[in-house]
């Protein structure tokens, strides 16, 4: 694309570029053989775009007016000498780094807000989210299944997430509680359905006596002779047992 010298420019100082216009558009474009600066005479990279102080407009606004392109906006950040090094992009924001939104405009098919792919390597993550220094139970990855985009309604019949594959969680998990006290802490009923399914407890710690303080009320344990259930905890600890027999 051709550029023309800005008619109102002054002589640039050492290290600065001569202002020019791109397709005679408003605003100054500064370019030489190695860098392009928009809004700055000293670009720090191949393309350096800066807005004026106090501006509330976005840095860039791109509108696709075509029809059939799969990738409406394509950004490829690949290092030719070292294709497996570094990051494809870095986004630093205020309260939200990236918003990816797919709005329903009629028709059928999936609406995907964001899709992330990672090829197999030493450690492959589709999404890796790290939260620093926060004890907020809603920090980290927050997934909400809302009926309305304005977050007015959040009902149990709407799905918040779907996982296809194995899931590893290193710490406690709470279902119905934000303060899980065990690897799996469920506030509510638990149902195990399907055919030929059962609940397995491996290597349980059996109580030493009926008043053993170990465990919580409702805890179940067993050994080769008895099945134990803790029926009372607190000021008084009570374990009850039933003898196990072969038949």
Which band of pLDDT confidence, cut at 50, 70 and 90, is reported for residue 25? very low
Distances (CA, A) of 175 to 140, 172, 180, 183: 16, 10, 8, 11
Spatial CB neighbours of 141, under 8 Å, sequence gap ≥ 6: 127, 129
Of the segments 9-18, 49-58, 78-87, 179-188, which one has the largest average pLDDT value?
179-188
pLDDT in tens, 34-86: 888 887 888 888 888 888 777 787 888 888 888 777 777 777 777 777 766 66
The more confident residue out of 244 and 123 is: 244
- What's the CA gap between 80 and 211, in Å, rounded? 70
Nearest to 88 by CA among 60, 49, 36, 128: 128
How many domains are contained in the chain? 1
Nearest to 38 by CA among 6, 109, 123, 29: 29
pTM > 0.85: yes or no: no
Which band of pLDDT confidence, cut at 50, 70 and 90, is reported for residue 119? low
Residue 115, in any domain of the structure: no
pLDDT of residue 2: 43
- What's the CA gap between 79 and 163, in Å, rounded? 32
Residue 143, in any domain of the structure: no
Residue 38, in any domain of the structure: yes
Residue 174, in any domain of the structure: no
Residue 215, in any domain of the structure: no
Provide the domain limits for residue 44: 15-50
The more confident residue out of 27 and 220 is: 220
Q: What angle do CA 179, 151, 146 make, to 5 degrees?
A: 75
| DSSP 8-state class, residue 54 | T
């Amino acid at each position: 694309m051709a550029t023309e010298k800005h008619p109102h420019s002054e002589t640039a100082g050492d290290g600065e570029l001569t202002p020019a216009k791109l397709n005679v558009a408003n605003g100054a474009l500064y370019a030489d053989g190695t860098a392009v600066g928009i809004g700055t005479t000293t670009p720090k990279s191949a393309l350096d775009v800066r807005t004026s102080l106090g501006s509330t407009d976005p840095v860039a606004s791109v509108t696709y007016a075509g029809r059939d392109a799969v990738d409406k906006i394509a950004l490829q950040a690949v290092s030719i000498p070292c294709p497996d090094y570094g990051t494809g992009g870095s986004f630093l924001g205020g309260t939200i780094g990236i918003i990816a939104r797919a709005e329903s405009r009629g028709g059928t098919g999936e609406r995907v807000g964001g899709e992330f792919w990672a090829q197999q390597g030493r450690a492959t993550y589709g999404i890796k989210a790290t939260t620093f220094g926060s004890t907020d139970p809603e920090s980290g990855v927050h997934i909400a299944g809302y009926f309305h985009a304005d977050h007015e309604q959040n009902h149990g019949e709407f799905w918040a997430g779907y996982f296809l594959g194995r899931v590893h969680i290193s710490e406690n998990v709470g279902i119905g509680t934000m303060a899980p006290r065990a690897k799996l802490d469920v506030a509510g009923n638990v149902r195990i359905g399907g055919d030929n399914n059962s609940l397995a407890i491996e290597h349980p710690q059996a109580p030493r006596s009926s008043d053993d303080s170990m465990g919580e009320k409702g805890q179940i344990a067993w050994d080769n002779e008895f099945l134990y259930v803790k029926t009372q905890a607190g000021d008084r600890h009570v374990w009850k047992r039933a003898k196990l027999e072969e038949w």
